[in-house]
Amino acid sequence: MSLRHLWLALALWGTVHPMTHMLGWLSQNGWSLRGLVAAWQANGAVTGLSWDLVITAVTLTLWIVAEVAVRRNWVALLAIPATFLVGVSCGLPLYLWFRSRPI
């Protein structure tokens, strides 16, 4: 297995595994954005982890935009919505998969 295949496998795992937990939570607690934000602030540990992920997502987005501007690998911009709609666990390996393609 090449490193490129590993990036794609990690992006898939980073989509499926967290989303099973998220969808389970949503089915138990409803599809309330207010409830989701409240869960992100349930205690100090969860709040710290939430902010860690937000800061990481913003940093990854800036890195993607900066590199796409230089490399002109426009399809790699798809990693930005993946980061914010699924999570960094999907967006980062997906971007690395796009970035590692032969030019």
Q: What pLDDT digit, counting tens, does each position of 25-68 carry?
A: 989 998 888 888 888 888 989 999 999 999 999 999 999 999 99
CA distance 57 to 12: 17
Mean pLDDT of the chain: 93
- 86: helix, coil or strand? coil
Res 76: pLDDT: 96
Kindly report the pTM of this predicted structure.
0.89
What proportion of the chain, given as a percentage, has pLDDT over 70? 100
> What is the structure's pLDDT at 32?
85
Side-chain half-sphere of 37: how many Cα atoms within 13 Å? Answer: 3
Q: Is the pLDDT of residue 103 over 90?
A: no
Judged against a pLDDT cut of 80, whether residue 18 lies above it is answered with yes
What Cα–Cα distance (Å) separates residue 72 from each residue in 11, 61, 76, 94, 95?
A: 22, 15, 9, 17, 13
